Structures are given as C-alpha cells and as structure tokens.
Amino acid sequence: MRHLPFKRLAITIGFFAIFSLGVMLMDARSLLDPLRSGVAVVLNPVVTQLQSLGQPAEPSEPLEVQLATAEAERDQLRAENMLLQGQLDEQAVLLQTMQIQSDYTDREVLPARVLGTDPSGLQQKIIINRGTDDGVREGMAVIDGTHFIGQVIDVEEHRSSVLLITDANASVGARMYNSRADCILYGNGRASTNLTLRHINRAVEPVESEWIMTSDLFESETAQVPGNIPIGWVVGEPTINAQTDQMEFTVYPAADFGNLENVWIVVPQ
C-alpha cells in the first residue's frame, strides 16, 4: 500500500507521454490543422478586442478641428448668455420704472444707464446715457429708484452729467419728515460720505433717526426737484453753528453711491 502513490504517478506520466507523442505524430501529418483553424476563428476576435483595451481610439477628425469646433460652440453660448442677460436687465428696469410710476403718480420718470464717473476725478458725478433728445434738462432730479441722488448739470444730445448730492458743491432744499423743519442739505465731498443738514431753528425738536426728504415747502424747495423724495436719515446729536446760532445734523444717505448702474430722471409736471 505504501507504493500505491508512486504507481499512480508512474501511470499518469506514462499516459501523458503517450498522449504527447500522439499529438506530435498528428501534427507532423497535418491532422491538427482543421482544429487549429477552428480555434483561431473563435479566439482571434477575442484577442483583438483585448489588445484594443487601454488604447485611445483614433479621432475621426484632427484634434485642431475638434478644438476649434468646441471653442466656436463655447463662444456662441457666451454670446447667447450675454444677450439673454441683457434682455433680463432691460426687463428688470422696465418693471422698476412701472413700480416707481405707480408710487408717484404726480411725476414721470425716465430710466437711464450709468456710463461712468467723472473722468477727471475732481467731482463726484456720473455720466448717463440720456440727453436733450430724451427731454432731459439741467436741474432735473435723479433718483436710484427710491432715493434722491443728485441733479443734472450738463446736457448733451445723448448723454448728461449728474452731480451727486455727496459732492462738496452740491446742495438741495430739504425738510425733516416728522418735525417738518425747513432746511438745506449739503454734500461734503471726499471729506465724508455723510451729508450735512443746516439752517435748522433751535426750537425744532427732531425725532431720533428722522428721515430727510426733498423739500415741498415754498421757502426751501429746489427748482425742478419734486418734494417728498427720500434722501437719508439723521444720525447722532445736533451741533450748534456758532455763526448762525442754528442747529446742524449729520445725515446718512440711503442710496448706495458706489453701486449705481441704473438711475431714473424725475420729469417734473
């Protein structure tokens, strides 16, 4: 029994040798050619597919052509997006104009786009794309949609300059909303982004954070500037002007002067 594994091994080796010899004889007599051809027919497509794995496919067009096509499609999409954005912006301005018109039935407003600021940098003013051909005249009030921001000072056919109320040379007739005090509002230029409210009688008792509006009072109203347009609100305590013996207040402007893209010219009736 101990020699049984050795006998099995010897028999297996013998069979393998006989089988190998038979295959060699059949191959020598070309008896395996049909079998070899059949196997090749089955395996060749599989081998070809395996060899193609991991290899990049040859482009149907040169890379330069594909790149140019992709860039052209990108540029077209950008142009379409810009056109759509422009249409949305125009629609937003139209809707806001309608809203302003419904809020102030006693006046008309003309929308305008801000083209830039004072190129010299000496004045705090903006350039808009409306002029005499649109009915714009010097002195007309300009708002950001809700708040007073300045007046038209120079007019050409298709553009105008607007002096902002923050400029050191700017002023407008104003009143205090609650106390109805008659006063004048001045800009401070580069010295301060806040405004200064002057010529207020000491008998006036202001309300905390009281709103300041354009004046509708005969004594202080500014020509071509309709009354009751919000400008800003009072901050801090009043000071007394030693020369006039009148109160002065600091006013924080409500408009965002650093982000003016579209404005509206108020056409007085």
The full set of domain ranges for the chain reads: 76-164, 171-255
Share of the chain above pLDDT 90, in %: 47
Instruction: Kindly write down the DSSP assignment for every residue of 67-113, as one continuous string.
Output: HHHHHHHHHHHHHHHHHHHHHHHHHHHHHHHHHHHHH-TTSEEEEEE
The CB density around residue 203, as the number of other CB atoms within 10 Å, is: 8
Lowest mean pLDDT among 9-18, 31-40, 58-67, 140-149: 31-40
- Measured between its terminal Cα atoms, the distance across the chain in Å is 127
Q: What is the pLDDT of residue 1?
A: 46
Q: Which residue has the higher pLDDT, 89 or 132?
A: 132
Q: What is the pLDDT of residue 249?
A: 95
Q: What are phi and psi of 70, to 5 degrees?
A: -65, -40
Q: Which residues contact 101 (CB under 8 A, 6 or more apart)?
A: 108, 109
Q: What is the pLDDT of residue 31?
A: 56
Q: What is the pLDDT of residue 240?
A: 93
For residue 24, is pLDDT > 80? Answer: no
Query: Are 136 and 130 a contacting pair, CB within 8 Å?
Result: yes
Nearest to 249 by CA among 195, 211, 202, 213: 195
For residue 262, is pLDDT > 80? Answer: yes
Q: What is the pLDDT of residue 220?
A: 87
Coarse DSSP helix, strand, coil percentages of the chain, rounded to the nearest 5 percent = 35, 30, 35
Q: What is the pLDDT of residue 169?
A: 96
DSSP state of 116: E
Rounded Cα distance, 121 and 244, in Å = 33
Q: Which residue has the higher pLDDT, 33 or 130?
A: 130
Residue 172 token pair: 């407008």
For residue 254, is pLDDT > 60? Answer: yes
Residue-wise pLDDT for 139-191, tens only, equals 999 999 889 999 999 999 999 999 999 999 999 999 999 998 999 999 999 88
**3-state SS record for 146-205:** CCEEEEEEEECCCCEEEEECCCCCCEEEEEECCCCCEEEEECCHHHCCCEEEEEECCCCC
Question: pLDDT grade, residue 219 (50/70/90)?
Answer: confident
Lowest mean pLDDT among 24-33, 61-70, 142-151: 24-33
Which class does domain 171-255 fall in? Answer: mainly beta
Q: Do domains 76-164 and 171-255 have the same CATH topology?
A: yes
Q: What is the pLDDT of residue 21?
A: 61
For residue 252, is pLDDT > 80? Answer: yes
Note the pTM of the prediction, 2 decimals: 0.65
Strand partners, 251: 195, 234
Question: pLDDT grade, residue 18 (50/70/90)?
Answer: low
In CATH, the number for domain 76-164 is 2.40.10.340
For residue 23, is pLDDT > 60? Answer: no
The CA-CA-CA angle for residues 187, 189, 194, to 5°, reads 55
Amino acid at 209: S
Query: Are 198 and 220 a contacting pair, CB within 8 Å?
Result: no
Rounded Cα distance, 250 and 232, in Å = 10
For residue 38, is pLDDT > 90? Answer: no
- Span 10-20, average pLDDT: 64
For residue 2, is pLDDT > 50? Answer: no
- Span 196-213, average pLDDT: 92
For residue 76, is pLDDT > 90? Answer: no
For residue 15, is pLDDT > 80? Answer: no
For residue 42, is pLDDT > 80? Answer: no
The CB density around residue 163, as the number of other CB atoms within 10 Å, is: 21
Rounded Cα distance, 128 and 234, in Å = 29
Q: Is 224 helix (H, G, I), strand (E, B) or coil?
A: coil
Nearest to 194 by CA among 206, 185, 204, 202: 185
Residue whose token pair is 């407003």: 109
